[in-house]
Structure 1
């Protein structure tokens, strides 16, 4: 009798813990993602196949576009993983950066004349 009561209590506790973990807001799973600046100034894109980050300056206004990839580790520490700049030349600039499941990532694209847009946090 006591053994079955302890087993039931343990099972209820495990189920409650699993529910709490599943209710926490996880980082969004990776797939191709694009964030765009207003007024058609440019964008930053994550290409999941190959883990490539692409930044495109799409307006010839004398200002470039800069992209930053931030990484947040399990303890919450945020740092810059890589940067990509585009402007003053034809085409977009790209950089590979291998993202994984042990951290969360956020893209931020900025028009060098002022103004930025950020993505949600994500991982693979």
Structure 2
């Protein structure tokens, strides 16, 4: 009986140790379309799809401005990737690989001659 209790205790300790040694696993999380406006008119949007690490910027209005979508790592504060598009009805994507389980945040801005304005920041996502 003591031997059985000892084996059970060792198995339990091994399972608890394994659970504590591995960090929490995070499910990937998309960032829904984040829209930028000129006045009250939507002029473009950006989004992030975690499956495939796809970042997109889309320009929806022929207004002379472009749209930039930038994905930043929340732990590091560094830009992970960025895409720019100019021209109504066009979208540009970047599907370069990101480290798994990285918390990210999307910022979408209008762009005029390289200067960003009317920026909107999204909720976080997970790569």
Interval of TM-score (by shorter of Structure 1 and Structure 2): 0.5 to 0.7
CA contact (8 A) 2:61 2:89 kept: no
Q: Secondary structure at the match of 1:41?
A: strand
Report how many aligned residue pairs link the two structures: 95
CA RMSD of aligned residues (A): 2.4
Per the TM alignment, residue 119 of structure 1 is displaced from its structure 2 partner at its CA by: 0.9
Q: 1:97 to 1:120 in 2, by over 3 A?
A: farther
| Corresponding residue of 1:14 | none
Match of 2:47 in 1: 45
Are the equivalent residues in 2 in contact too, given 1:28–1:120 (CA < 8 A)?
no
The within-5 A match list for 1:13-24 is: none
**In structure 2, what is the Cα distance between the partners aligned to 1:109 and 1:35?**
7
Q: CA deviation at 1:72?
A: 2.2
* SS state at 2:90 partner: coil
More helix by share: 1
Report the TM-score when normalising by structure 1.
0.65
Query: Could you say which residue in structure 2 is the equivalent of 1:71?
Result: 73
What is the correspondence of 1:78-89 to structure 2 with a 5 Å cutoff?
78-88=77-87
Q: How do residues 1-124 of structure 1 correspond to structure 2 at under 5 angstroms?
A: 30-31=29-30, 33-38=32-37, 39-73=41-75, 77-88=76-87, 91-99=90-98, 100-101=100-101, 103-113=102-112, 114-124=117-127
Deviation of 1:104 after TM superposition, in Å, equals 1.1
Tell me which structure has the larger Cα radius of gyration. Answer: 2
Runs of 4 or more above 3 Å deviation: none
